[in-house]
Structure 1
Amino acid sequence: MTTKDSQFAKGDTLTLTIDALATGGKALTRLDCMVIFMDRGLPGQTVEVKITKKKKRFAEAVLTKVITDAPDQISPRCAHFGVCGGCLWQNMEYSKQLAWKKRFVSDSLSRIAGAQDLEINDPIPSPETFYYRNKMEFAFGDRRGDITVGLRRYGTHNVVDLQECYLQTERTIEIIDLVREFVNATPALTAYDANSRRGYLRFLVIRETKHTNQCMVQVITAKDTTNNDQQHRAIRQLGQLLQERMNVTTFIHSLRTHTTQVAYGEKTYVVLGQKSLTEVLNFEKDMPSLSLSSHADGFFQVNTNAAARLYETAVEMAELTGTEKIWDLYCGVGGIALTAAPRAADVFGMEITEQAIASAKENATINGIENVRFVSGDVRSALTNEPSMPDVVFVDPPRSGMNPEVVDLIMEQTPKRIIYVSCDPATQARDIAVLGNQYTVTTVQPVDMFPQTAHIENIIRLDLKAE
């Protein structure tokens, strides 16, 4: 069936030319009055797709073959590109990546928030477009009896046995190579299979600092089912080997019994080194450097140098004078709160994770900042019980956005300014639609934290409307 045929059904194969990209990175084209969304691809490519869903006004498809490249397509750097699900835009020039991300922000605010004719600033580019990540999560797999280590194959749960990767550092692949060699030479070790729920090795998490030369390796496993804890003892030996040969400063072994495939352990043991890493954020503007400590399971922006741009931009957009009382909701380990503190009178940070709040308090001490308070717990409860009245509120919620009750509680406090940081323009726009009843969007500033992917961080400033 060709693009001239409008009567197609689920399961049909079509040949299409991609017209544009949708928020989140899906490709799309229009066939008569029908929009067809494809799971990937670039504008200008002629592709073969298989229809997986058809509704009244749109259809969904998976790309099965690229027939003709896009006119401005570039050669991807990584040999695993197209197979690995780690990054989908290595074949797009970086300036065009930024242009599409700006369009995603604009489309979300227009379509979801109803905010028309907003001026969207050009995205602040990442200082590095490769080797920028400070953390990556890898999975263990099995290929005909050999244990593989890598990222998920695109669209599946199978593991691509990585031989190269340009997202974290060159040392990352060296660590993966050493881990792969060790686990395959140790008979007691097996890869976990999610279908049978058998096996031992589940995830390998590598964290590195950009400015303090620290490296944390975390191996997440299932329970040891061998006699005399042979598997657990082998993991401790792996940690010692990594310390000796790769200068790993912290090695952690975590146990995960839940069957959900998430790189998080219910129990965590520090086998070697310190329990946390400390990174330094160097700001471009007139701000002192900030040291931030984070535990193994604590949240920290994965792009260290871009995080510095993000935090300083958010604080600058707030136009603080030194007299403001600030709330920082979903504060994590305190990055924004501690960046803003030297320019404010009082800062109150809230986060649901106790470990993150412990890190935030530690970070305040490390940096000698005294005008901050951090509280752990559900943000809704914390706001209800908080007596202070904020002048400025920073929010940096998870990808799902803010709970509607939190949005209502913020508006009840009527801060004069809200700085909303988000990694998902769509859920951010949903919340902006509600906040727009009392606030006016005055600045929209995307910040690229994730080169080679369709993800974009976005900062929006909202000012309280006049009575």
Structure 2
Amino acid sequence: MVNRRAFLFRMALFSRVRSLPWRTSQPKGWPWAFLGTACEGTVTDVGTEGEQRERTSWKEESSQNLGFWRERLADQMLPLWRLNYEEQLKVKFESLKKNLETLESRLCKIGAGDPAPTTARSERPCSRLHPFMPSPVIHGYRNKSSFYINRGPDGNPKTVGHYLKSWGGSNVFCVQPSHLKDIPEKHNQVAQCFEAFLQQSTWGLSTDSCKAGPWHELIVRTTFLGHTMAIIIFNPQELSQEELCVQKEEIKEFFSTGPGAVCDLTSLYMKERTPRHQQLTPFQLLTGEPYIFEDILGLKVRISPGAFFQLNTSAAEVLYRTVGELGRVDRNTVIFDFSHGTGATGLSLARQTSQIFSMGLVGQALEDAKWTAAFNGITNWESHPGNMKEIMPQLLESQEDGRSLMALVDPSQCGLSNRVVQDIRNCRAIQTLVFVSCRPYGKSIKNIIKLCQPPDPDENLLGEPFVLRRAMPVDMFPHSLQCELVMLFTR
């Protein structure tokens, strides 16, 4: 069994230059900073070995056995896969703890915390971090996987898998990810069938890395209800409309009546990827149903091909319950939901609340949320694409009725816009804020600082600042370094 100390020693190579040795992208901030600190002083021998590997040519690397590449891919995609689950949660907890200490320091600098050294430890933000809520499912938990198409280590130009760079960083190729612990068998089955289609397809693969070939990406989505959606993203390049139609028919036939029929797809989509500005055209349904559906906490949710939904459905149920419990949601609570996606977080709480105003949903996500509310008989949910000023009369009425107002925030990786931060901060009636973040650093930290800093008329931050009371981590991504952090703020 690999213990935590041995794991951190192995990860020392990564912390040496704050990036993986094959220069893959990674999130900034925690937990790499924690791993680097934990491993400090142990990287000399490992670093020398890494430098030697960087000088190895790609031809020499490609002669390595498949197990070598599979192991490297696992280290890149799921850095904690070598640890048992209990040890994984310990590593994540220490990372979050250091992250909250950084937040505390930054808040003190702007006068939003007590900078005195005598501050009681029980009052510090990092002390308000609760133990992890574990994921009910540890292996094969993903309901959405993305696969790319490129040359494999064996030279096969039509390999479907995940990108990996050579040690020198000059070559990019794909490694089949069937061994990764987070990908379910159904996703691997669709990916393998798609690779079989590519092998027999007359539509070639460009070797020009700038164009990435006509085949770009395969996305597979599944649900607990047994639905499977496949989305093929491609670059039409110089093909005529007639040639494109031929290719679409070939793909449709392959997955409908050919070898790919074993996948039993509920929906098969294609989407063109134009070279200029990397824009995407609308989804094109080739065969099957336009939507798939999921059952979560007794709620039937509709999911469109481009809509966001939590990657781990079982853990999402834990997340939604945690939001309700931490915010003390009851029949006297009015929720302003600023979450992105299909509105599932707010809708899952609808039966417990007085009223839910969903703010900012657009496009497919909005249509999915409307369908979900109507199908489940939810009548106390409303969508408002504008800002909170438009519903201020209803806010004032809620206050007169004695109902409490809560803001629910679950932003995308881009964080909240300044306008949303100002709306929440300046609405004095909102006394409770639940902030959910899968990246509790970067943009999220900047949002939290704005919500907690002293009033600043120059930034239009007029209301009283919020104060962090509790932080509850939910493990949405076993084997990886990420998690969801649910934070309760009051003022």
> Hey, what's the Cα distance between the residues in 1 that align with 2:94 and 2:52?
23
Mean Cα deviation higher: 366-375 or 162-171:
162-171
CA deviations over 1:315-355 (Å, ceiling 9, x no partner): 11111231222100034211111122111111000235321
Other structure's SS at 1:207 match: strand
Choose from 454, 461, 471 the match for 1:444: 471
Contact 1:140 1:192 in 2 (8 A): no
Q: Tell me the equivalent position of 2:480.
A: 453
Match of 2:192 among 142, 162, 177: 177
Between the aligned partners of 2:416 and 2:238, the Cα distance in structure 1 is 42
Aligned partners of 1:358, 1:193: CA distance in 2, in Å?
39
The question of 1:234 aligning with 2:225 is answered no
Distance 1:445 1:63 in 2: 43
User: Which residue does 2:232 correspond to in 1?
Assistant: 219
Which position in structure 2 is the counterpart of 1:431? 447
SS in 2 for 1:257: coil
CA gap of 1:423–1:62, structure 2 versus 1, over 3 A, is farther
Aligned to 1:418: 433
Could you report, residue by residue, the CA deviation over 1:338-394 in whole angstroms, capped at 9, with x for unpaired residues?
122111111000235321011111110121101001134xxxx52343324370010
Amino acid in the other structure paired with 1:382: N
Distance (whole Å) between structure 2 residues aligned to residue 171 and residue 130 of structure 1 = 13
Distance 1:113 1:90 in 2: 31
Change (3 A) 1:30 1:24: closer
Q: 1:90 to 1:462 in 2, by over 3 A?
A: same
**1:30 & 1:271 partners in 2: Cα distance?**
51
Task: Show the counterpart of 2:150.
Answer: 141
**How far apart in 1 are the matches of 2:216 and 2:100?**
39
Could you list the per-position Cα deviations for residues 231-274 of structure 1 after superposition, in whole angstroms to 9, with x for gaps in the alignment?
Answer: 3332333332376221111100111114677xx83221011111
* CA distance in structure 1 between the partners assigned to 2:207 and 2:300 by the alignment: 37
State the alpha-carbon separation in 2 of the partners of residues 214 and 199 from structure 1. 30
1:4 alignment partner in structure 2:
none
- Secondary structure in 1 aligned to 2:248? helix
Q: Secondary structure at the match of 2:72?
A: coil
| 1:97 aligned partner | 88
| C-alpha contact 2:339 2:409 (8 A) present in aligned 1 | yes
**Alignment check: 8 A CA contact 1:243 1:249 kept:** no
Take 1:127 and 1:383, find their aligned partners in 2: how far apart are those partners? 36
CA distance in 1, matches of 2:319, 2:357: 20
* Correspondent of 1:405 among 419, 430, 438: 419
> Are the equivalent residues in 1 in contact too, given 2:248–2:286 (CA < 8 A)?
no
Contact persistence 1:357–1:375 (CA under 8 A): no
Name the SS of the counterpart of 2:189 in structure 1.
helix
Any runs of at least 4 consecutive aligned residues in structure 1 with deviations exceeding 6 A, and if so which? none
Asked if residue 201 in structure 1 is aligned to residue 201 in structure 2, the reply is: no
The unaligned stretches of length 5 or more in structure 1 are: 1-8, 15-20, 37-43, 52-60, 66-76, 283-288
Q: What secondary structure does 2:150 align onto?
A: strand
Question: AA paired with 1:90?
Answer: W
Deviation at 1:45, TM superposition (A): 7.8
1-side partners of 2:83 and 2:369: how far apart? Answer: 38
Q: Report the 3-state secondary structure (helix = DSSP H, G, I; strand = E; otherwise coil) of the residue aligned with 1:225.
A: coil
**Residue 301 of structure 1 pairs with residue 317 of structure 2:** no
Are the equivalent residues in 2 in contact too, given 1:192–1:202 (CA < 8 A)? no
Return the alpha-carbon distance in structure 2 between the equivalents of residues 192 and 266 of structure 1.
Answer: 24
Deviates more, 1:341-350 or 1:305-314: 341-350
Size of the alignment, in residue pairs?
403
How far does residue 89 in structure 1 lie from its aligned partner after superposition?
1.4
Task: Report the AA paired with residue 279 of structure 1.
Answer: E
Where does structure 2 lack aligned partners over 5 or more consecutive residues? 1-15, 22-27, 55-66, 106-112, 114-123, 396-403, 454-464
Kindly provide the CA deviation profile for residues 47-103 of structure 1, in whole angstroms up to 9, marking residues without a partner as x: 52279xxxxxxxxx99969xxxxxxxxxxx997132353222111222121112122
The partner residue of 2:300 within 278, 291, 295 is 291
The 5-angstrom pairing of residues 323-402 of structure 1 reads 323-376=332-385, 381-387=386-392, 388-389=394-395, 391-402=405-416
Contact 1:165 1:173 in 2 (8 A): no
RMSD: 3.1
SS of residue paired to 1:140: strand
> What CA distance in whole angstroms lies between the structure 1 residues aligned with 2:38 and 2:289?
55
SS at match of 1:168: coil
Q: Which stretch of the first structure deviates more once superposed, 354-363 or 139-148?
A: 139-148
SS at match of 2:132: coil
- 1:165 equivalenced with 2:180 (yes/no): yes
303-312 or 90-99: bigger deviation: 90-99
The residue that corresponds to 1:250 in the other structure is: 267
Give the Cα separation in 1 of the matches to 2:178 and 2:206.
Answer: 18
SS in 1 for 2:387: helix
Whichever residue aligns with residue 100 of structure 1, its letter is V
Report the 3-state secondary structure (helix = DSSP H, G, I; strand = E; otherwise coil) of the residue aligned with 1:158: strand
Cα pair 2:31 2:96 within 8 Å, conserved: no
CA–CA separation in structure 2 for the residues paired with 1:422 and 1:62: 36
Secondary structure in 2 aligned to 1:80? helix
Change (3 A) 1:423 1:63: farther
Cα shift readout 1:276-321 (whole Å, capped 9, x = no counterpart): 1110113xxxxxx111111000000000000010011101111123
1:198: Cα distance to partner? Answer: 5.9
Does 1:88 find its partner at 2:79?
A: yes
Alignment-derived partner of residue 111 in structure 1 = 102
Q: Out of 311, 333, 355, which is 2:320 matched to?
A: 311
Equivalence for 2:398: none
Q: Are 2:327 and 2:432, in contact at CA under 8 Å, matched by a contact in 1?
A: yes
1:358–1:193 CA distance, 2 compared to 1 (3 A): farther
CA–CA separation in structure 1 for the residues paired with 2:216 and 2:157: 14
Query: Is the 1:276–1:293 Cα contact (8 Å) retained in structure 2?
Result: yes
Residue matched to 1:68: none
Give the aligned partner of residue 10 of structure 2: none
Q: TM-score, normalised by structure 2?
A: 0.74
